[in-house]
Amino acid sequence: MSVLELFTEQQSLQRLGDDTQWQWLDNKLYRRLVFEDFVHAFGFITQIALLAEKANHHPEWANVYRTVDIYLTTHEVGGVSERDFTMQAAIDKLIR
């Protein structure tokens, strides 16, 4: 599968497997993280920003106090692609 080939919902869910932390939501990969406080949440966002800039693949996210919602989608294909799963793996490494 090409890096920019669109994944169907079924393909994405199969790829996620038993990972209950990430979900399929509105044709995107989605995860909510809750941190100790705003400083920790913002620090995590900063770490993702550095990864995203290096990969030239930028997530959509929202931050309210200590909560960070992350949405991964590839705008060039109008949905989820291999690039999103690569970014998901990089984000997961930051969390562990």
Hey, where are the domains in the chain? Answer: 9-95
Cβ pair 30, 84 in contact under 8 A: no
Q: What is the pTM of this model?
A: 0.91
Question: Which residues form the catalytic set?
Answer: 53, 57-58, 75-76, 84
| pLDDT tens track, the chain, 96 positions | 667 899 999 999 999 988 779 999 999 999 999 999 999 999 999 999 999 999 999 999 999 999 999 999 999 999 999 999 999 999 999 997
Half-sphere exposure of 91 (CA within 13 A, CB side): 28
CATH number, span 9-95: 3.30.1360.20
Q: What's the confidence (pLDDT) of residue 2?
A: 66
Q: Which two tokens stand for residue 36?
A: 């100790």
Length of the chain: 96
Residues paired with residue 71 on neighbouring β-strands, in sequence order: 30, 60
